[in-house]
Structures are given as C-alpha cells and as structure tokens.
Structure 1
Amino acid sequence: MTARLDRAQPYVLGLFRVVVGLLFACHGAASLFGVLGGAAGTDGGTVETGAWPNWYAAVIQLVGGTLVLLGLGTRAAAFVASGSMAYAYFKVHQPAALWPMENGGEASALFCWAFLLLVFTGSGAFGLDRLSARRTAAQDGPAETAADRRTPVSA
C-alpha cells in the first residue's frame, strides 16, 4: 500500500502546488485588478499602486502564485511567497491576538507553511521546472558518476 502511495507522491505534490499557486494568484488578482471580489477591505476595489505593503504583497501574490502554479522557478517563488506571508502574519495579524483563530491570520499562516513546504520539495509532477530540467539533461548527455571520475583513463 505504501509503495503505491509513494509512487503517487510527485503527482499529488504537483496538484498541491497547482492549487496553492492558483489560490495565491487569485488573491493578488483580486487586490490588483478588483476581480473575484476585489481587495479585502476595499468594497471590491483595488489597492493603491505603490502603497506599502499592500500593493507589493499583491504583486508577490500574483507573480509568485502564477510561477508556483506553473511550476516555474518554484523553489525561489515559494521562498518569497512564504516570507511575504510570514510578514503578513506577524505584522498584520499577530499583534491583534496570539492565535490565528483569534486574529484572522489562518490564511496567512497556511500559505506561509504551504510555500515553505514547496521550497524544500520542489514542484513535483506537472511543473515546467521538470520539463526544463529534462531538456537540459538530454542536451548535456549522461551525467558523470563518481565511479567515472575514479576510473583512470588509459592513453
């Protein structure tokens, strides 16, 4: 049973990445363009361009979420997104109360930890990271192993 689950792991991780990236990008699109209900606290409007930290957070959400969704530069995009959500939690939510249930910071905390997981796991299946890695490996030829380096070359 666990062998089957292990074989499915890259695919489930890929689906997890797609869903988390899509949801995160939707938050950015809502804040920047007023779609999907608009920015929180603006009655369906958008955040003011350049306003600290809301506009910058929305850009990170849209760009980072899209990159994670596509699986392109997943680890770097997830690292930035995780940091932005940690900032949001500790700067915006946590001063109101200690626990996420009390301070409304559940989404920030969950996104922060979900993206941190992706920093360490990578994109999983279905990501453009994997396609570019395969293409690069195919162009470079077979990788040299440690045994290849130890074998003396005779002239």
Structure 2
Amino acid sequence: MHVPSPSGPLHRAQPYALGLFRAVVGLLFACHGAASLFGVLGGRNGGTVDIGTWPGWYAAVIQLAAGGLVMLGLGTRSAAFLASGSMAYAYFVVHQPESLFPLTNGGEASAMFCWAFLLLVFTGPGAFALDGLLAARTADATARAERAPVTA
C-alpha cells in the first residue's frame, strides 16, 4: 500500500480542502436553520417553527448561528462542538426511537452533520477561516507594538 509523502501535493492541499469542507458544511447547516426559522429555501413547505417551541425552534437557532460561525471560520471548534451535540441529540431523541438505522429512521442528515462537526472540533477550521485572519492581524499588531520605541 502506498502512503502519500507528508510533503506531497495532497498533504500541502489539506488545509485548503479542510477549509472548503468547513465552509460547505457550515453553509448547509445554516440553510437548515434559515429554512426552519424563516420558511425560505424550500424548507418546511414554506412554513416556520413556532418561536420558542422545544426542540425545533432551539435547534433551528443553533443551526443558523453555529452553521454561520463554522462557515466563516469564527470560533469554529466551539460552534462545531455545539452543532455536533445538537445533531447527536436530534438523532438519538428524534430519529433513533423510530428505528435503529439512519436509513430507515430519517436520521441520515443528523448523523452526517454530527460526525462532520465532530471532525471539525478535532481538526480546526483549515484555510480561509476568519479566526486565522484575526489571529494574524493580532500577532502583527503585537509585533509592531513590541518594535515601537518607548517614549516617556
């Protein structure tokens, strides 16, 4: 079995592939929340969940907020942890009592989102994340401040 070199093209592309994965998963998750909250994008047959209903409205808020944060790469690990947990809850409380397997209980999306977000908790955001840009700007500002002469 051939193992790719740690310096090969696939290895070098890994942060970019991870960044695209994060952005797409976050966008898809946010779309679920927007569909439930605002009745857009063809979700819920044009209807919305009633404000404050458990667990649907809270799940939709988490989907929209956490999905948006993950898509942008802002607080990715924390937002992904929250999203993963909400999808684990959705799977085990809503879908799994109907049947054991996701294919027969309608829980494929919940299971896939749960595992995708859990992966992001451990890998981080990859390339193109706002967290990376903000960290670079902060480090740059700190370095400039350290180089500046002290005046009294």
Q: TM-score range by the shorter chain?
A: 0.7 to 0.9
Matched, 1:28 2:30: no
Partners of 1:118 and 1:137 in 2: CA distance: 24
SS at match of 2:43: coil
Partners of 2:43 and 2:105 in 1: CA distance: 21
Partners of 2:43 and 2:17 in 1: CA distance: 30
Normalization by structure 2: what TM-score? 0.88
Q: How does 1:2-151 map to 2 (within 5 A)?
A: 2=5, 3-39=8-44, 43-141=45-143
Partners of 1:89 and 1:83 in 2: CA distance: 10
RMSD: 1.3
2:68 maps to a residue whose letter is T
Partners of 1:92 and 1:21 in 2: CA distance: 22
Partners of 1:11 and 1:38 in 2: CA distance: 30
Offset at residue 111 of structure 1 (A):
0.1
Unaligned runs of 5+ in 1: 143-155
The aligned length equals 139
- Look up the match of 1:148: none
Partners of 1:85 and 1:78 in 2: CA distance: 10
Normalization by structure 1: what TM-score? 0.86
Partners of 2:23 and 2:46 in 1: CA distance: 25
Partners of 1:7 and 1:35 in 2: CA distance: 38
1:119 maps to a residue whose letter is V
SS at match of 1:141: helix
> Identity percentage over the alignment?
74
SS at match of 2:46: coil
1:134 maps to a residue whose letter is A
Unaligned runs of 5+ in 2: 145-152
Partners of 2:46 and 2:100 in 1: CA distance: 29
